[in-house]
Amino acid sequence: MNFDNIKNIKIHDVGMRDGLQMESESVDIETKIEWIEELIKSGIDIVQVGSFVHTVKVPQMADTDELFLHFNKPENKPANTILSALILNEKGMERGLNSGVEMFCMGVSASETHSMKNTGMSSAEAQTRIINMAKELMNSGKRVQVSVQSAFGCGFEGDIAEDKVLGIVKEYLNAGIKNISLADTAGHGNPAKVQRLYSAILKMDNDIEMACHFHNTYGMGLANCLVAIEEGVKYIETAFGGLGGCPFTKLAAGNVCTEDFVHTLQNMGYRKDIDLERLIKIAKHASGFFVKDLPGFVYKSGGIND
Q: CB–CB of 255/242 below 8 Å?
A: yes
Q: CB–CB of 168/162 below 8 Å?
A: no
Q: Computed from CA positions of residues 14, 179, 123, 125, in that sequence, does the dihedral angle turn out positive or negative? A: positive
**Based on C-alpha coordinates, what's the Rg of the chain?**
18
Given the residues 105, 225, 246, 257, select the one marked as catalytic: 246
Q: How far apart are CA 253 and CA 273, in angstroms?
A: 29
Phi-psi region of 278 (alpha: psi -120 to 50; beta: other; left: phi over 0): alpha
Q: Pairing state of beta strands 10-13 and 46-52?
A: parallel
Other CB atoms closer than 10 Å to residue 115's CB: what's the count?
A: 24
Return the axis-axis angle of helices 123-139 and 162-174, rounded to nearest 10°: 30
Tell me the residue type at 179: N
Strand partners, 266: none
Is 246 among the residues known to form the active site? Answer: yes
Residues serving a catalytic function are 246
